[in-house]
């Protein structure tokens, strides 16, 4: 069994011990096996690998020909959101959307909390992460997001607590607040162009709704030209569809350790794919370049920029100069 970190460069054995309370690989292996059998009634072999991300861990296991993924968190402040994410994902799965739907426990729960741990079990989906150089995959990913948005508009949300699913600040206020914070990567010309676009921005956007929250290559599995799996709804939130669409377009090619921008043609393919399913309103189309520019600028790192976010932001700015 291998134990590794998803993002960080920490020693995974130390993190497993200090953050999750397991003294060894054998200890986590035994816990995973006994937990899955006790809660789901499924006997599994020792995990193939365990991957750690912040306060979350994932273990890939097998039961006969079935490959499963146990995902758990030790961050109590996240437990209610994780439960909501699991419920939403199960609901989408029942509607036949390509999501990694949770496997219910013996008692019918899709996310269970016990002994200070919140966990869910999923079936592993066979596929490769989205390739942003494949135009068919990019357009299909856009269409898939539109279908998810259409479905999520009708999700029976009820009245979630604001700390679980907060209402976003009005969009213009968000961007103006970012500009006012005087980011190191925001020069005068970019500030002027963004400000000018905001002055003309429509306030007539469709209402906010649940959105996936992290729709990009790391969470999109493809087989050929089809999207076969949309993973990780744990960052779901209330927002405008166009906000998620633009953010996803800018970040579409990002993977776990490969954080680089995509080209303007990829963003356009993604937008075109989306609009084959759901045509954007005039107000949303007006916001598209504003949001693409904002996210492009916000992703420019201070200091070293090995993957070229700064150059990508300049290209977006060049497209909008004079508008």
The secondary structure of 59-116 as a DSSP string is: EEEEETTEEEEEEEE--GGGHHHHHHHHHHHHHHHHTT-SB-PBPP-TTS-SSEEETT
Q: What per-residue confidence (pLDDT) applies to 32?
A: 97
pLDDT at 91: 98
CATH 3.40.718.10 corresponds to the domain 129-320: no
Q: What is the distance between the alpha carbons of residues 136 and 114, in angstroms, rounded to a whole number? A: 43
Burial class (CB in 10 A: 0-12, 13-18, 19+), 306: exposed
Report the distance separating Cα 180 and Cα 226, nearest Å.
42
Q: Which CATH class is domain 2-124?
A: alpha beta
pLDDT score, position 163: 87
Q: Is the pLDDT of residue 290 over 80?
A: yes
Q: Over the stretch 145-158, which tens digit does the pLDDT of each residue have? A: 999 999 999 999 88
What is the arrangement of strands in the sheet containing 226-230, beginning at the earlier edge strand?
128-129, 220-223, 226-230
* CB-CB contact of 58 with 70 (8 Å): yes
In the chain, list all ranges with CATH 3.30.200.20.
2-124
The share of the chain scoring above pLDDT 70, in percent, equals: 99
- Could you tell me where in the chain the CATH 3.90.1200.10 domains are found? 129-320
Query: What's the pLDDT tens digit per position in 15-24?
Result: 989 999 999 9
Considering the chain, what is the average pLDDT of its residues? Answer: 95
Name residues whose C-beta falls within 8 Å of residue 70's C-beta, 6 or more positions apart in sequence.
Answer: 32, 35, 36, 47, 58, 59, 61, 119, 120, 121
């Amino acid at each position: 069994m291998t134990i590794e970190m998803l993002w960080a460069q920490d020693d995974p054995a130390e993190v497993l011990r200090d953050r999750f309370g397991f003294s060894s690989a054998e200890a986590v292996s035994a816990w995973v096996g006994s937990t899955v059998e006790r809660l789901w009634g499924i006997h599994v072999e020792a995990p193939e690998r365990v991957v750690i991300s912040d306060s979350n861990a994932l273990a890939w296991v097998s039961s006969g020909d079935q490959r499963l993924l146990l995902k758990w968190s030790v961050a109590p402040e996240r437990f209610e959101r994780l439960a909501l994410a699991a419920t939403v994902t199960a609901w989408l799965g029942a509607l036949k959307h390509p999501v990694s739907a949770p496997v219910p426990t013996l008692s019918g729960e899709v996310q269970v909390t016990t002994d200070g741990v919140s966990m869910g079990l999923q079936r592993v989906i066979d596929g490769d992460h989205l390739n942003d150089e494949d135009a068919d995959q990019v357009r299909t990913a856009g269409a898939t997001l539109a279908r998810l948005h259409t479905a999520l508009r009708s999700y029976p949300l009820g009245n979630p607590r604001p700390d679980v699913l907060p209402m976003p600040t009005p969009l213009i206020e968000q961007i103006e607040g970012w500009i006012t914070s005087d980011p190191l990567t925001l020069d005068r010309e970019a500030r002027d162009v963004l400000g000018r676009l905001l002055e003309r921005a429509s306030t007539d956007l469709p209402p906010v709704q649940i959105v996936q929250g992290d729709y990009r290559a790391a969470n999109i599995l493809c087989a050929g030209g089809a999207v076969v799996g949309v993973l990780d709804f744990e960052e779901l939130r209330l927002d405008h569809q166009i906000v998620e669409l633009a953010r996803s377009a800018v970040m579409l090619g990002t993977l776990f350790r490969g954080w680089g921008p995509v080209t303007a043609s990829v963003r356009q393919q993604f937008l075109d794919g989306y609009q084959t399913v759901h045509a954007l309103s005039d107000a949303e189309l007006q916001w598209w370049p504003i949001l693409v520019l904002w996210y492009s600028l916000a992703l420019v790192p201070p200091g070293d920029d090995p993957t070229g976010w700064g150059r990508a932001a300049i290209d977006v700015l060049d497209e909008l100069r004079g508008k």
